[in-house]
């Protein structure tokens, strides 16, 4: 689905129930913890839930279009600016002198395409300029500024401060005085916080149910799309699926051999499974349309591991980790004390260079004795281990998903991208619903409370047992004036695929879709919310 990065904000709510398929590739990339390889089951699904009108506008735009000037190529070197930067000023921003500025001498534009943080004070900035040849004059003209207007001669007063809150032009005159060129100089500042997780108050759809007022739901990623299993108000069930080749949910009534516990729904690479009320393992090989018994009885389902379903079984051998179907590589093992049997924040797998098999992790949940845990458990293909060093607060019914975060890791003004796990929702030990967001940079070994920028907004009610899935949406933006830049630059954080034809750029933005959840009053939230890190909606810089 291609959507404009500069779309309008109007909404047609009749469209919001449709989901358009996109890619099947994972959004989690490599950093020092996520090692090279592909995630197998990381809650990344092919969805694009909302129309173009809901895509947030890009904020790293270049300066306004300027009329092309008449200076010829033969004379341009005599007035060319070869380097432009801001002087260091820690009272304004650390690393201010490392901000990159693009220069287009043909059209006379100087600007920082990668905007400064929201709220940066740009009314008194010192500049540093280098020229291709010696010049006779370089004068700033400032108009409409909030602090200062008038002129400033850079050649005679290079440390004078310039007010960039208004319109600033720099006129350069050649050494012989016969040629001049006026540059428009723009210091761009973000109009929104790029590192906030933005959830549109109107960016919401209803769950794909056949009837109104559904009782419960569970949504999982499939190899070719997603499945949302809904318990309807009349006690019947709906299996709603979407594939990469469709644009809407396919809603079908489905029946089970016995009463299902839909919260146990889990997907492998080739099937979906759940338990019934008596613990019988039920399987569907056609995305939830038809179900059959396996003859297996379990206490709990743990998660999907490639084409195997992991679970916990009892019996004469004692309570143990097990799997289905039978495997010569996966082994059963005794259940560890404190291992959660329900309410975990999802089971996700990834590969790394040190392990021959995928590694799976889950966190939170409720143990057999009813106590809640905040630990992270990891599975290496043969055994389970509590890897927590800094666990979560004890929580059940949260949801965990892979995403991105950006941190400054050097003295320069630039951010490093990290692949992270985010956790939201759930019920705490005191019975209250969790409103905080938690983040892990190292696959659940350490968790910490995320910044308030990543907290759900007030208009989304706190819930337990929501499902969060991530989908990449293809976006487009104009490159007007950019194709002539002399030195293409790849920005920090350019981890998702992008392409350009010289006039427009297309890129993939990973959106988070939050399905359902049980509210404080015990009722199902019948909505699907969409959010994304603002930074990832901005047009790529290159």
- Residue 60 DSSP code: -
Q: Measured between alpha carbons, how far is 362 from 376 in angstroms, rounded to an integer?
A: 6
For 537, the enclosing helix (H) or strand (E) is helix 534-537
339 and 347 Cβ atoms separated by less than 8 Å? no
Question: Mean pLDDT across the stretch 31-54?
Answer: 34
Amino acid 33: pLDDT: 31
pLDDT, one tens digit per residue, over 275-287 is 999 999 999 999 9
Tokens of 278: 């008596």
Q: Which conformational region is residue 179 in: left (phi greater than 0), alpha (psi within -120 to 50 degrees), or beta?
A: beta
Amino acid 409: pLDDT: 75
- In this structure, the chain runs to a length of 542
359 and 383 Cβ atoms separated by less than 8 Å? no
Amino acid 203: pLDDT: 79
How buried is residue 369: exposed, middle or buried, by Cβ count under 10 Å (0-12/13-18/19+)?
Answer: exposed
Angle at Cα 193 formed by Cα 507 and Cα 410, nearest 5°?
A: 80
Backbone angles phi, psi at 233, to 5 degrees: -65, -30
- Residue 75 DSSP code: H
Identify the residue with better confidence: 236 or 179. Answer: 236
The 3 state secondary structure assigned to 458-493 is CCCCCCECCEEEEEEEEEEEECCCCCCCCCCCCCCC
- CA dihedral (439, 440, 444, 449) positive or negative: negative
- Relative to beta strand 109-111, strand 180-186 is parallel
Backbone angles phi, psi at 340, to 5 degrees: -75, 140
Q: Measured between alpha carbons, how far is 412 from 120 in angstroms, rounded to an integer?
A: 16
pLDDT, one tens digit per residue, over 89-121 is 999 998 899 898 988 877 788 998 778 888 899
Q: Is 185 helix (H, G, I), strand (E, B) or coil?
A: strand
Closest among 435, 457, 437, 433 to 519, alpha carbons compared:
433
Backbone angles phi, psi at 324, to 5 degrees: -150, 140
For 515, the enclosing helix (H) or strand (E) is strand 504-515
Which residue(s) pair with 348 in the sheet?
361
Lowest mean pLDDT among 175-184, 188-197, 212-221, 395-404: 188-197
33 and 419 Cβ atoms separated by less than 8 Å? yes
Q: Distance between alpha carbon 357 and the CA centroid of its chain, in Å?
A: 26
483 and 502 Cβ atoms separated by less than 8 Å? yes
Amino acid 154: pLDDT: 96
Question: Mean pLDDT across the stretch 13-19?
Answer: 32
Confidence class for position 50, pLDDT limits 50, 70, 90: very low
pLDDT, one tens digit per residue, over 487-535 is 333 333 445 566 766 567 788 889 999 999 999 999 999 999 999 998 8
How buried is residue 534: exposed, middle or buried, by Cβ count under 10 Å (0-12/13-18/19+)?
Answer: buried
Please say if the pLDDT value at position 25 is more than 50. no
Amino acid 284: pLDDT: 98
Amino acid 351: pLDDT: 83
22 and 46 Cβ atoms separated by less than 8 Å? yes
Tokens of 165: 């809150």
Please say if the pLDDT value at position 37 is more than 90. no
Identify the residue with better confidence: 332 or 243. Answer: 332
Across the chain, what does the average pLDDT equal? Answer: 82
At a CB cut-off of 8 Å and minimum separation 6, what does 245 contact?
21
């Amino acid at each position: 689905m291609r959507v404009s990065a500069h779309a309008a904000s109007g909404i047609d709510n009749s469209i919001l129930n449709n989901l358009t398929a996109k890619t099947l590739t994972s959004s989690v990339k490599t950093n020092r913890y996520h090692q090279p390889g592909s995630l197998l089951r990381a809650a990344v699904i092919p969805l694009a839930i909302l129309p173009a009108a809901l895509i947030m506008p890009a904020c790293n735009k270049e300066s306004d279009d300027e009329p092309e000037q008449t200076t010829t190529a033969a004379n341009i070197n005599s007035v060319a600016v070869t380097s432009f930067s801001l002087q260091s000023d820690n009272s304004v921003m650390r690393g201010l002198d490392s901000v990159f500025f693009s220069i287009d001498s043909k059209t006379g534009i100087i600007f920082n395409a990668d905007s400064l943080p929201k709220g940066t004070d740009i009314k008194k900035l010192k500049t540093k300029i280098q020229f291709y040849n010696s010049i006779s004059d370089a004068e700033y003209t400032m108009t409409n500024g909030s602090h200062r207007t008038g002129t400033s001669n850079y050649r005679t007063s290079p440390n004078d401060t310039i007010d960039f809150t208004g319109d600033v032009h720099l006129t350069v005159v050649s050494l012989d005085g016969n040629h001049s060129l006026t540059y428009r100089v723009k210091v761009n500042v973000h109009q929104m916080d790029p590192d906030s997780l933005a959830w549109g108050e109107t960016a919401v759809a209803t769950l794909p149910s056949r009837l109104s007022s559904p009782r419960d739901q569970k949504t999982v990623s499939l190899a070719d799309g997603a499945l949302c299993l809904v318990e309807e108000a009349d006690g019947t069930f709906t299996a709603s699926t979407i594939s990469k080749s469709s644009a809407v949910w396919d809603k079908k009534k489905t029946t089970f051999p016995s009463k299902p516990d839909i919260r146990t729904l889990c997907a492998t690479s080739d099937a979906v499974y759940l338990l019934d009320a008596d613990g019988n393992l039920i399987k569907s090989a056609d995305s939830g349309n038809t179900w059959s018994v396996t003859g297996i009885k379990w206490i709990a389902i743990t998660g999907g591991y490639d084409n195997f379903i992991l679970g916990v079984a009892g019996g004469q051998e004692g309570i143990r980790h097990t799997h289905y179907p039978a495997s010569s590589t996966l082994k059963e093992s005794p259940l560890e004390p404190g291992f959660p049997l329900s309410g975990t924040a999802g089971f996700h797998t990834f590969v790394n260079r040190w392990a021959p098999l995928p590694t799976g992790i889950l966190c939170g949940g409720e143990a057999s004795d009813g106590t809640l845990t905040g630990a992270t458990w990891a599975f290496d293909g043969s055994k389970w281990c509590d890897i927590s060093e800094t666990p979560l607060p004890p929580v059940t019914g949260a949801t965990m998903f892979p995403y991105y975060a950006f941190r400054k890791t050097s003295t320069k003004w630039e951010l490093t991208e990290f692949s992270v796990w985010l956790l939201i929702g759930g019920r705490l030990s005191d019975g209250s619903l969790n409103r905080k967001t938690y983040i892990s940079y190292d696959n659940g070994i350490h968790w910490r409370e995320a910044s308030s920028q990543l907290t759900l907004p007030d208009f989304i009610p706190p819930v337990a047992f929501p499902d969060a899935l991530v989908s990449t949406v293809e976006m487009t933006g104009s490159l007007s004036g950019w194709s002539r830049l002399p030195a293409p630059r790849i920005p920090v954080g350019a981890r998702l695929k992008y392409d350009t034809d010289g006039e427009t750029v297309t890129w993939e933005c990973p959106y988070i879709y939050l399905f359902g959840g049980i509210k404080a009053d015990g009722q199902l939230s019948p909505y699907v919310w969409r959010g994304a890190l603002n930074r990832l909606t901005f047009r790529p810089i290159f």
